[in-house]
Amino acid sequence: MIRTVKLAGAAVCAGLTGCVDMYEEPDLSQATAVFEFVQGQFGEGQGALKGNEFGSPVTVEYKFIDNPQCENPRRAALFPPASVERQVRRVRAEKAAIVVATMTFPGDVGRMSTSSGSAELSGNACMAVAGFVPEVGHTYVIAQQQLNYALCKFIVTDKVTGAPPPGLRLNDNFRCPARK
C-alpha cells in the first residue's frame, strides 16, 4: 500500500514541472542562523501597490540551491495565494547559502524593463537569487517584493540591524539554466 502511494506520488510529480525536494533543517547541535521568509510584499513608498492589481494573489516560492546552475533545489518556503505571511527555517551558519525567489502572477502580464535594478518580469514570474554567509544567531528577513508595473525586487536584511548581510550577492533578474 505504501509503495503504491509513493509510486503514484512520483508519477504525479513527474508529470508536473517544478517538483522539488523539501529543505531539511540542520540538527540542533550545529551552529545556525534563522531565515524568515516573507510572503510576497507589494511595494512601499509613493506610488506603491496597495493590493494586487492583477486580479488575484501571487504565489511566492523560495528554494535553496547549491550553485548558480540551480543544482539540488530544495523548497524552503511556498506561499500560495491567501496563505500565511511568514515561514521560518533554521540554516547552517558560517556556510554560504544561496536562495532563489520566484513570484508568480496570475495570467501573462507581459514584460516591463527598468534601469532601477529591479527584475524584469518574464512571462508571468519574477525570479531572483541571493547568496551570503549567515552569521551564528542572526535572523534574516527574506522577501520577494512586487513593485509597480509588474517589477520585482529581492530584499535580504538582518532583522536586528535592518541592513543587508555582509557580502550579500544579489541578482534581481536571475534565471536558472534550462535543464538537459
Average pLDDT per consecutive 10 residues, the chain (180 residues; last block may be shorter):
41 48 93 91 42 56 91 92 84 95 70 43 76 96 77 88 95 74
> What is the model's pLDDT at position 149?
54
Phi-psi region of 159 (alpha: psi -120 to 50; beta: other; left: phi over 0): alpha
Can you tell me which residue has the cell 527584475? 119
> What is the model's pLDDT at position 57?
64
- Paired sense of beta strands 151-158 and 21-22, if any: unpaired
> What is the model's pLDDT at position 99?
96
Give the global pTM. Answer: 0.75
- In single-letter form, the type of residue at position 180 comes to K
> What is the model's pLDDT at position 179?
62
